[in-house]
Structure 1
Amino acid sequence: MKWLLLLALAALSECLVKLPLRKGKSLRKHLEENGLLQDFLKSHPYNPASKYYPSLAQEAGQPLQNYMDIEYFGTIYIGTPPQSFTVIFDTGSANLWVPSVYCSSPACSNHQRFNPQQSSTFQSTSQSVSIQYGTGSMTGFLGYDTVQVAGIEDTNQIFGLSETEPGTFLYSSPFDGILGLAYPNIASSGATPVFDNMINQGLVPQEVFSVYLSSDDQSGSVVIFGGVDSSYYTGSLNWVPLSAEGYWQITVESISMNGQVIACSQSCQAIVDTGTSRLTGPPTPIADIQYYIGASQDSNGDYIVNCNSISNMANIVFTINGMDYTLTPSAYVSQVRGYCISDFEAMNLPSNSGDLWILGDVFIREFFVVFDRGNNQVGLAVAV
C-alpha cells in the first residue's frame, strides 16, 4: 500500500501527528526535497537526551495480507531502486532475510530474488548467516542496504540473502522472506533487527509496535510501527511484563475450562508469536486439552472435532497477569475442507525456563497486541 504525506509547513508542530507516508520517503526526506529542513531544525533544536528529533518520527502502518488465516505477510522494498518482497512480520525471530539471485534451491525459483548488483546502495559483507525455524531453514550471507517498511526508510539495514532454502515448506509459501521483530540477542550472526535499526535512527516516535490480525481471511490486518491505534480494540490495554527478553516471553498463570484448570496449573512460559499459525504447547498438556475439547486424531495427525458440536463446546481461558483471556470454540477450531480441526498443536520448544507455549495467530486474532520495547512488556486488549 502506498502512503501519501501531506506536507504543509504550518502543520509542523511539537506534537506528533499520525500521518500516512508516501512509500519510500521519510519526513526528513520530504523536508530536504522541499528546501524546508534547515528552517525546521532551527525551530526544533536537537535534544541531546533524545535519540532523535521527535517531530521527524511518525508512526506508520504496514498493511498485512491474511492468507487463509494461516499466514500474514506484507510488502517491503530493499535497495536503490527498490526491489519488492513479501515477508512474514515475525515476532518469533529477529532476522530479516529474502531470497537472492545466488540461491539455487527450488524454494527460490518461484519467489522474488534480491539482486545486489542492481542496487546502488548495497554493501556486501563476508559474514554468513544460517537460520532454522520450526518449519523451514535458510543459509546465506549478510549485506547492508536501504529497507522501506510502512513508508519508513530504514537505511544501512543489515539483512540476509539466502543461498539455500532446503525442504518444501518455503517452496510452497506465498511469501518470499521473513522480517523478524524479536529482540536482537536471538538474531543469527548478531544482525541488528529492523525495528532496532529504526529505533537507533530515530525513525519511530515510540519504541513500540502493535499488531492487529483479521479473522476469516478478511483484510485489515496491520503492524503499526511506533504507536498504537485504539480503533483496533475495545476496552483498555492490560500490560504484561516480559519474563525473559529474546522472544516476547510472558508468564501464563493457568489455562482453564469451565472453571477447572486443565493446563499450566503451576504457571508456564509462553511467547507471543505472529509467525506461528496455531497455539502450541508441550505434548502432554496439549493432549489433555484435545481430550477436554473432544478432539480425536486422524490419519494425517490432525485433531478433528465434530462440526455440529462447536456451539456446545466450552471456552478456554488463559489467565495472564491476573486477567482472563477467553478463546471461544470458533476461535480455536478451524473449518478446513469440510472438517473441523483443533488449532491446538503439540510442539517441543525447550528454553532455560522450561518448555515454551506459543500464543500464535489463533490467540492474536482475538487480542490486539502492543509490543513495548521501551518498557519490556506487551499490552493485550480484546480485538474488534
Structure 2
Amino acid sequence: MRTSLLLLVCVGFVHGLGRVSLSRLPSVRSRLRAAEQLNEFLREHQPDVFSRRYAQCYPATQHYLRMGGRSTERLYNFMDAQFFGQISLGKPEQNFTVVFDTGSTDLWVPSSYCVSQACAMHHKFKAFESSTYAHDGRVFGIHYGSGHLLGVMAREELKVGSVTVQNQVFGEAVYEPGFAFVLAQFDGVLGLGFPQLAEELGSPVFDTMIAQGLLDEPVFSFYLKNNGSSFGGEVVFGGVDETRFVSPINWIAVTQKGYWQIRLDVVKVQGALRFCYRGPQGCQAVLDTGTSLIGGPARDILLLQQFIGATPTAVGEFLVDCVRISSLPVVSFQINNVEYSLTGEQYIRRVRTTQQPFQHFNPSNLRRH
C-alpha cells in the first residue's frame, strides 16, 4: 500500500498541463523544536487555531466558535506546512518557493521593501526589475498566530510549471510577523481555495488559469509522498497522473465553497470508539494541503488521546512511548462510504525530545492517507 495522498478537485471545462515538483523538508514546528524554541512559541501563541481558521464553515449560532469582541480574521496554519514547490513572477523571471495551499486562496511573496527579519532570510520580489509589473494600489493583511502579515497588491506575469498566467493578482508582503517565519523553508503561499475565501480582491491563480483557457481540464491534483527524503511529490494543473494512484478515484462533493469542505461519514478507533456518527449528515471536514495536521473538536480529540494513552504536555502536545507504537489502535476515516485506515506507524510523528525517548503524538497530527 502506498503511504501517499492524491487530492483531486474538479470545477467546469476548458488547454495545457502544468506539473510542479514538491519538496518536503522539516516543518517550522520541527525546526522550532530543534532550536528548543517550540514550547516558548506555543505558550505565547495559543489561539483556538481550528475554530478561527474554519469558523466560516459552521453556523454563526454555534457558541464555541464565537470570538467575543475580538476580530474574527482567519488564522492560517503555516507552522506545519511541509510540501512546497517553485513558481516564478515577472519578466525576467524571479523564482520563489511557495506552499500550494488548498486551505487559503491568495498568492503572496516577500517584497524587496519588506522590513522584517523573515524577509531577509527569503527571496524577495523586485518590482523595479520586471517589465510586466503593474502596481495595484490596494493593501492587504492576513492574521497568523504570531501577528499580522501586511502587504500591497500588484499584478504580474506568473509561471507555474509550464503554465504562464498573465496579469495575475498577488500580494507583496512588506511585513512578516514572528521569528517562526524566519525558520520557514518557503518564501510565500499560493492559495488554491475558492474565490469566496480570498483576503485579496481578484481572481485566485487556479481560477485565472481556467479563465485564460490554459488547462486541458479544470482540475488540479496533488501527489504527496512521505518517504523520508526531500522529494515530497508533485502538483499537476490541468489533469491527473494515473501512475500516482490505484484506481478508481473515489469522488466526494464539496458541501460549501470556500475551503474544500466535504462530508465526513465517521471516524473510528479500533471499532470501539466512533466520532461524527451522531446524525445522518455525519460531520464536515476540510481538505487542506497547507498543513500536516488533522484537527477536530477539542472534546473528541481529548477522548481520542485518552483512548490511545497519550500523555499531555504543558503546551498542548501529546507524547506516546516509542515501544507502544506497534500496539496502538487503527484510526479510520470513512468518506463517501470508503474507509481509509491508519496504523500507529502512520499517524505518529517521530520526534526525539530532550527529556525522554518518547514519540511526539497529537491526534490532530494524524497523517492524511
TM-score normalised by length of structure 1: 0.74
What is the match of residue 338 of structure 2?
A: 323
Distance 1:165 1:296 in 2: 34
The answer to whether the 8 Å contact 1:242/1:249 transfers is yes
Give the structure with the larger strand fraction: 1
The one of 94, 104, 114 equivalent to 1:93 is 104
Identical residues among aligned pairs (%): 37
Structure 1 gaps of 5+ residues are 1-49, 346-359, 367-384
Structure 2 gaps of 5+ residues are 1-11, 28-79
1:162–1:220 CA distance, 2 compared to 1 (3 A): closer
- Alpha-carbon displacement from aligned partner over 1:59-85 (angstroms, at most 9, x marks no partner): 221100011375111111000001111
Structure 1 residue 157: deviation in Å? Answer: 0.4
The one of 229, 249, 255 equivalent to 1:237 is 249
- Alpha-carbon displacement from aligned partner over 1:163-211 (angstroms, at most 9, x marks no partner): 1111122121011000000001111132211111101111111111010
What is the match of residue 60 of structure 1?
A: 18
The one of 297, 306, 309 equivalent to 1:294 is 309
Distance 1:68 1:112 in 2: 19
The one of 145, 149, 158 equivalent to 1:138 is 149
1:273–1:134 CA distance, 2 compared to 1 (3 A): farther
Runs of at least 4 residues off by over 3 Å: 133-137
Distance 2:147 2:272 in 1: 37
Distance 1:217 1:105 in 2: 32
Q: Letter of the 1:60 partner, please give it.
A: G
1:229–1:51 CA distance, 2 compared to 1 (3 A): closer
1:127 correspondence with 2:138: yes
1:156–1:293 CA distance, 2 compared to 1 (3 A): same
What is the match of residue 175 of structure 1?
A: 186
1:135–1:181 CA distance, 2 compared to 1 (3 A): farther
Structure 1 residue 253: deviation in Å? Answer: 1.5
The answer to whether the 8 Å contact 1:80/1:121 transfers is yes
The answer to whether the 8 Å contact 1:212/1:222 transfers is yes
Distance 2:343 2:135 in 1: 49
What is the match of residue 237 of structure 2?
A: 225
Larger Rg: 1
What is the match of residue 43 of structure 2?
A: none
TM-score normalised by length of structure 2: 0.77
What is the match of residue 90 of structure 2?
A: 79
Q: Letter of the 1:239 partner, please give it.
A: W
The answer to whether the 8 Å contact 2:263/2:285 transfers is yes
1:277–1:220 CA distance, 2 compared to 1 (3 A): closer
- Where does 1:346-361 land on structure 2 (aligned, <5 Å)? none
Distance 1:301 1:242 in 2: 31
1:245–1:207 CA distance, 2 compared to 1 (3 A): same
- Corresponding residue SS for 1:334: coil
Q: How many residues were matched structurally?
A: 297
- Corresponding residue SS for 1:192: coil
What is the match of residue 113 of structure 2?
A: 102
What is the match of residue 33 of structure 2?
A: none
